[in-house]
Amino acid sequence: MDVVSTKLLSPAKINLMLRIVGQRTDGYHLLQTCFQLLDWGDEMTFTPMPDKSKNQLEIKGFEGVNVQDNLIYQAAQMLKPWAQSQSAWLVEVDKQIPLGAGLGGGSSNAATALKFFNKAWQCDLSIFDLLALAAKLGADVPVFILGHSALGVGIGDVLTPMKFDTPYILLLFPGCHINTAELFKASGLTRDQVSINPANMQQSTFWINDFMPLVLQQFPQVYSIYEQLKSKMNLRLSGSGSTLFAVFDELEDAQKAYNTASEFCDVRLVQPQLSSIF
């Protein structure tokens, strides 16, 4: 019997807006954020390994990363108690999403693995079960399980599906890695931002990111690109990473901005992911 592989897009996201509105006693920060899923990301290939026994897993695409620390491995381990079938798989990840970029690469990989192995191992977990497991893996994982752009509150895991008017999105990659945990610890981080009415989420004037002042201050690569291009396009920061982005209504304007920004850094022009809720 021929071995058939399954290729899936593990999409990136941007945070159109990110406000830190408080902090819990356990240290987790309370957020209000707008997740926009993109039609671009990592490619994950799942290939069965019939010569292996039980639900074993091999993961490729992460050099120097201990397999136990990989979110794909952790996601699969979570599902094993519900597995009704046994099959071993090779998971190969063609990484396109930079690490530490604020685009949710690891979280998206974990969510894609959860959804795939839920079917492959006949776990029969509902979308609500998967969302609960996803939240244990990380605050950004649930939105990729949902598979729809959304307003996120709580630690970012309480989601309300929304659609945002972002026809063309230009991503700018400064080429540096930002450690989210370290940024959250920064003394200069605003932690008492006022929440805004969800009805105003569609208005880009409300799209601020509380991490942006810190990132511009602490990372010269990001600051340099921002300073050189801010007069040519309305630049924003995604999440707690290094990626800057700009939103355009017209393809012609987006392409002009692409040509301009490509002289300063790596860039990619993407669109929102077309998706249904379930």
Q: Name the DSSP letter for residue 12.
A: E
Catalytic residue check, 95: no
Q: Measured in whole angstroms, how far is the alpha carbon of residue 222 from the centre of its chain?
A: 19
Q: Which of 42, 140, 157, 210 is the catalytic position?
A: 140
Catalytic residue check, 140: yes
Q: How far apart are the first and last CA of the chain?
A: 32
Phi then psi dihedrals of residue 171, to 5 deg: -100, 135
Amino acid at the residue 174 = P
* Residue partners of 243: CB distance under 8 A and separation at least 6: 14, 98, 101, 102, 103, 171, 172, 173, 174, 237
* Residue partners of 219: CB distance under 8 A and separation at least 6: 174, 176, 178, 242
Q: Which of 13, 42, 115, 210 is the catalytic position?
A: 13
Neighbours of 162 (CB within 10 A): 17
Helical residues (DSSP H) of 2-97, grouped into ranges: 71-79
Residues belonging to the active site: 13, 140
